[in-house]
Amino acid sequence: MMARIPSSPPSIKPLPQSKNRPLWSVMIPVYNCSQYLTETLEGVLRQGIPEKVMQIEVIDDASTDADVAEIVERIGKGRVKYFRQSENVGSLRNFETCINRAQGELVHILHGDDRVLDGYYEKVGKLFQQYPEAGAAFCRYNYIDETGKLMYPQRPEVTQEGLLHDWLIKLAEYQRVQYVAIAVRREVYEKLGGFFGLTYGEDWEMWVRIAKYYPLAYTPEILAEYRKHESSISGQKFITGENLTDIIRAMELIQTHLPESKREIIFRRSNKFYAHYGVRVANRLWHDLHNKQAVNAQIKQVLKMHKDPLLFWKIAKIRIKVLLNRA
């Protein structure tokens, strides 16, 4: 039986060169996120890109929350294709299926709970035209909550669009890209393989792997929206502290992509960044859920990663809140 979490990058089968290939493949992996899928599909369809230019396909990892095929047919009206796994294979194998089923030159893995804004494909497509050496291209994006309300925008990487400089080192320090914002040339996946190793932070490792071998193009224009909610894979892992365990594993994998002279300093910086991030997560878990066990799980992992006076002060403040049972 094939492992749900590949231990090495899974192979992506090359496609024969053809004039009839679409430029875009928008591959939408879903698992029990049907309440958001209509918005996701409408965001793509609203851009009016014809089928000969864009493949749109939902890849369903055996969802049980709704009739996903019915949603796809009702919203897509035949424009959106549907594929269902015969059994639940896990997120990484579902991503692998997405990429292998993609027929286009450019692959956008658009999760079924995220949204693209008008103009995403036009702008990102132009970046690939302007910078043919780019292996991937991405935009700035918003964070939205479960209801679709804006939480905050991502900080811009640079103020002018173009190829990013020293991107491997910057990206290796901490995650700066979400799936919804980035598109990748299919030939890059064919050469480097797919996602592997872990189910939280697997994309961070993938983007670093791409940055090791290819330039990346970027626009500071906000053209995508990443949804944060507790029912997501990452939400579940926050409760147990596994999010930080996986981040540590991602850091270790990322080390192999870095010049030897940079590894130690980047590893220290990453640990510090994510230790302080873990404290913010613990604070939010207490504020939103009043879950003492989840708070303790985050802090336990934080203290394995890094220690400094400011970190101890932040932890002390959370401990006091928990002790006094205050939000």
Return d(Cα 42, Cα 116) in angstroms, integer: 9
Return d(Cα 27, Cα 56) in angstroms, integer: 6
- The tens place of each residue's pLDDT in the chain, 327 residues long, gives 578 999 999 999 999 888 789 999 999 999 999 999 999 999 999 999 999 999 999 999 999 999 999 999 999 999 999 999 999 999 999 999 999 999 999 999 999 999 999 999 999 999 999 999 999 999 999 999 999 999 999 999 999 999 999 999 999 999 999 999 999 999 999 999 999 999 999 999 999 999 999 999 999 999 999 998 765 545 678 889 999 999 999 999 999 999 999 999 999 999 999 999 999 999 988 988 899 999 999 999 999 999 999 999 999 999 999 999 887
Would you state the pLDDT for residue 233?
47
In terms of Cα–Cα distance, which of 236, 232, 59 is closest to 145? Answer: 232
Would you state the pLDDT for residue 232?
56
Question: For the segment 258-281, what is each residue's pLDDT rounded down to a tens digit?
Answer: 999 999 999 999 999 999 999 999
Query: Which tokens belong to 186?
Result: 């299919």
Would you state the pLDDT for residue 17?
80
**Rounded to an integer, what is the distance from CA 148 to the centroid of its chain?**
18
What angle (nearest 5°) sits at the alpha carbon of residue 136, between those of residues 48 and 167?
A: 140
Side-chain-side CA neighbours of 3 within 13 Å: the count stands at 10
224: part of which helix (H) or strand (E)? strand 216-227
Return d(Cα 25, Cα 31) in angstroms, integer: 19
Could you give the C-alpha distances from 63 to 90, 124, 150, 168, in angstroms and in order?
Answer: 11, 31, 27, 36
Query: Which tokens belong to 120?
Result: 């995403």
The DSSP secondary structure of 66-96, one letter per residue, reads S-HHHHHHHHHTTSSEEEE-SS---HHHHHH
Would you state the pLDDT for residue 1?
58
Could you give the C-alpha distances from 119 to 62, 125, 126, 128, in angstroms and in order?
Answer: 31, 10, 11, 14
Return d(Cα 174, Cα 271) in angstroms, integer: 9
Return d(Cα 27, Cα 58) in angstroms, integer: 6
Would you state the pLDDT for residue 95?
98
Please give the sequence-ordered ranges of beta strands (E in DSSP) within 117-215, or none if there are none.
Answer: 136-144, 150-153, 162-163, 182-185
Could you give the C-alpha distances from 238 to 157, 194, 228, in angstroms and in order?
Answer: 26, 25, 12
**Rounded to an integer, what is the distance from CA 143 to the centroid of its chain?**
12
Cβ-based neighbours of 24, under 8 Å, separated by 6 or more: 49, 53, 54, 55, 104, 105, 106, 108, 121, 125, 183
